[in-house]
Amino acid sequence: TKTPVRVAVTGAAGNIGYALLFRIASGEMLGKDQPVILQLIEIPAEGPQKALKGVAMELDDCAFPLLQDIQLFDDPAKGFKDANWCLLVGSKPRGPGMERADLLKDNGKIFIAQGKAIDENAADDARIAVVGNPCNTNCMIAASQARRLPKDRFTAMVRLDQNRAAAQLAKKAGVAVTDVSDIYIYGNHSPTMFADFTHAKIGGKPAAEVIGDEAWLKNEFLPTVGKRGAAIIEARGQSSAASAANALIDHVRDLATPGVVHAVAVPSTGQYGFAEGVWAGMPVRSTASGYEIVTSYEMDDFAKSKIAITNDELVGERDTVKEMLG
Ligand code: NAI
C-alpha cells in the first residue's frame, strides 16, 4: 500500500472547503489508489472552529476508504507540519467600501505568516496552491518567505478561468468541451486576464477559424470569461465555490500528472513579456517533480497588448505590497 499524502487546507470550513474536501478524500485529486490525510486549518475563532468540527463529522460519515485521518488546527505552524500539498484557500474577503490596496495588505499579512509556517514545517517535497484572492500576489508574498523550499513550488490558481474559457468556446461552437484544447490563461486571476483564444483549437483546428467570428472572440468571449465570477455572484447571491473547488482539483491533479499542459500562475523569469518575479498565469507542462513553462506560443500584436495590460496590473499589485516581500 502507498504512503498517505498529507494535504493541508486553509479556510477548510468555508464554501470552497465544503465543495473540495469530499472530492480530495474520495480520490479525485490524487488518484483512486492514493490514501490521504487531511490537515484542516481555520482561524482560531469559535464559529469557524465549530463549523470545522462539523465538516470533519461529515467526512467521517462518508467512510471514505482512502481517508486515513482528519486533523483539525487553528495554528498554521502545526497544520502545515509534514504536508505534501498546501492548499491556501482561506483569505480575508473584501468588505464593503474596502479599497483593493487594503485588501492586498490585509491578505498580505496572512500569506506572510502562512508562507513562513509552510517553509518551516511542511514536507521537503511540499507544493503549494493558492486560491484565496488576490491569489497571484498572495502567492508571491507567501513564496517570498521561503528559505528552504524553492519558490517555484508556490503556484496560484487560474484553472477556473481556463475551464470557463473552454466551456464558452465549446458552447459557441456547439461541440463537446473535450473537443476544445490549447486554451490557456495568461496573467492575473482578475478581469484583466487574457484567455488566449488565438492558439485555442476546436477539434484540432484553430478555434478562430471554426468559430469564424473575431468580434465575438474579442468583444464577448474575453469579457464573459473575465467577469464570470461577478456574473455568478449576481445570479447566485454567493461566489462560485463548487466550480472553484473543481478547478483546484484539476490544478493539483494535473500538476501531479507528468506531461499534462495546463495554465498555472507561476513565477515569471520574463516569459511572454511578464515582469520578472511576478506570479503570472502561463501554460506549464507538468514533469515528474514539478513543471516547465511552455514558451513556444508566438503571440500576435493583439495578444501582446492584452498580456501587457494584465502584466501592468500584476506589477502594480507588487508595488502595493513591496514592503511585505520578505
Ligand atoms: P469563504 O468566506 O466561504 O471561506 C473562507 C474561509 O477561510 C472562512 O471559513 C475563513 O474563516 C477562513 N480563513 C480566513 N482567513 C484564514 C486564515 N488566515 N487561515 C485559515 N483560514 C482562514 O470563502 P470561499 O468562497 O471559500 O472562498 C475562499 C477564497 O477563494 C476567497 O478569497 C475567494 O475570493 C477565493 N476564490 C478564488 C478563486 C480563483 O479562481 N482563484 C475562485 C473563487 C474564489
The pairing of strands 5-10 and 36-41 is parallel
Catalytic residue among 189, 199, 251, 262: 189
The set of cell numbers assigned to 229 is 465570477
Q: Using a 6 Å cutoff on CB, does residue 200 contact ligand 1?
A: no
Separation of alpha carbons 87 and 248, rounded Å:
9
Assign domain 159-322 one CATH number from 3.40.50.2000, 3.90.480.10, 3.90.110.10, 3.30.70.20: 3.90.110.10
**Domain covering 5-156, topology:** Rossmann fold (3.40.50)
263-290 residue pLDDT tens = 999 999 999 999 999 999 999 999 998 9
189-208 residue pLDDT tens = 999 999 999 999 999 999 99
Q: Using a 6 Å cutoff on CB, does residue 139 contact ligand 1?
A: no
Q: Say which residue the cell 484557500 belongs to.
A: 89
Asked if the domains 5-156 and 159-322 are classified in one and the same CATH topology, the answer is no
Separation of alpha carbons 125 and 103, rounded Å:
31
Domain ranges (residues) in the chain: 5-156, 159-322
Q: Looking at residue 88, what is its pLDDT? A: 98
Name the average pLDDT for the chain.
97
Compute, in angstroms, the gap from residue 89 CA to the centroid of ligand 1: 5
110-132 residue pLDDT tens = 999 999 999 999 999 999 999 99
ipTM for the assembly: 0.98
Q: Using a 6 Å cutoff on CB, does residue 11 contact ligand 1?
A: yes
- Checking if the pLDDT of 94 tops 90, the result is no
Separation of alpha carbons 305 and 57, rounded Å:
50
| Local structure of 91: helix, strand or coil | coil
Compute, in angstroms, the gap from residue 92 CA to the centroid of ligand 1: 7
189 as an active site residue: the answer is: yes
Compute, in angstroms, the gap from residue 75 CA to the centroid of ligand 1: 17
- Checking if the pLDDT of 95 tops 80, the result is no
